[in-house]
Amino acid sequence: MKTRTLGKSGLEVSALGLGCMGLSFGYGPATNKQDAIKLIQKAYELGVTFFDTAEVYGPFTNEELLGEAVEPFRNQVVVATKFGFKEGTTSKGMDSRPENIRAVAEASLKRLKTDCIDLFYQHRVDPNVPIEDVAGTVKDLIQEGKVKHFGMSEAGAKVIRKAHAVHPVTALQSEYSLWWRETETEILPTLEELGIGFVPFSPLGKGFLTGAINENTQFDSTDFRNSVPRFSEENRKANQVLVDLLKSIATEKEATPAQIALAWLLAQKPWIVPIPGTTKQHRLQENIGAASIELTANDMEAIEIAALKIKVQGDRYSVTSQKMVNR
């Protein structure tokens, strides 16, 4: 697989990474451990060198899983994890106090079976802790050799600038896909100006853009999409028009809707690295195939013209989750 560099940081990763959250958390029951390890290792065999996790995924079990899976080739891959919640639990609220950042770093290093975290993200901006203190703490961890790069997630442009002034931000991770494009207004121009890479999570719209979900789909009771307005039965039916657009382009390209959605992201900027997640090896191979699809300027224009006519229905988060997205 081709590689990309995240901004001006020099951090080189595969053009597509693997978001590991869904293997342990969020989308129903956790995947069988051995199957999950096989999937991560298969991703590496297929050229993926960028793996994303966080202490809250599980909590803690996803880091342990990833650490065990990549141990045989640890020095050949980039591992990203995150800090920023009390006791590693989202429901307990945010905590980016310097002492907690340090505690999370030490615990994550052990769970990941490594001596250095390649990319350490603040999972969500904590309104109770000055971002300068957060960036300063990560800067200290970098100087101590425990972390290599500083990242942020779902942060607004002003906060990114403040953090970047203390220590260069290597990457911002936020949601971005054909059905969530808010980042294009202010975030992407800011990242380009500052030389910061962009790592879109949910690049397939939490699975919706694959075409495998429709108005009749039943999610597991523990699947967080049950609480997402955009995934209500009514909104799924209304939003099907976006999937239909992807399907029409995919047919022309002898590809799948998911591959077109990922190829569209890759075509936006050379410093964008999406991290689709999956629990199935055939979906993993399908996603990775997107890195080989070239969308022409005409293709991109056609998608843009068609997409502008589509209004996606429903909020992307529940009211509770939205409070944690500090813009």
161-171 pLDDT, tens per residue? 999 999 999 99
Any catalytic annotation for residue 57?
Answer: yes
Q: What is the pLDDT of residue 323?
A: 67
The set of residues, in sequence order, having a beta carbon less than 8 Å from that of 34 and lying 6+ positions away, is none
Q: What is the pLDDT of residue 324?
A: 67
What is the mean predicted confidence (pLDDT) over 195-218?
96
pLDDT confidence of 318, banded at 50, 70, 90?
A: confident
- Among 44, 57, 121, 176, the active-site one is 57
Determine the Cα–Cα distance for residues 158 and 326; give it in Å rounded to an integer.
11
- For residue 322, pLDDT over 70 is answered with no
- For residue 327, pLDDT over 50 is answered with no
Q: What is the pLDDT of residue 317?
A: 76
Each residue's pLDDT tens digit, 19-75: 999 999 999 999 999 999 999 999 999 999 999 999 999 999 999 999 999 999 999
- For residue 321, pLDDT over 90 is answered with no
The tokens for 318 are 């529940």
Q: What is the mean pLDDT of the chain?
A: 96
Closest-CA residue to 45 (of 279, 285, 286, 262): 285
What is the mean predicted confidence (pLDDT) over 75-89?
98
pTM confidence score: 0.96
**Residue 59, preceding bond cis, omega within 30 degrees?**
yes
- For residue 310, pLDDT over 70 is answered with yes
C-alpha dihedral sign at 102, 106, 107, 112: positive
- For residue 172, pLDDT over 90 is answered with yes
What is the mean predicted confidence (pLDDT) over 113-122?
98
More confident of the two residues 324 and 292: 292
Domains for the chain: give ranges and CATH numbers: 3-204+264-293 (3.20.20.100)
What is the mean predicted confidence (pLDDT) over 91-115?
98
Contact predicate 316/327, CB 8 Å: no
What is the mean predicted confidence (pLDDT) over 73-95?
97
Determine the Cα–Cα distance for residues 150 and 141; give it in Å rounded to an integer.
10
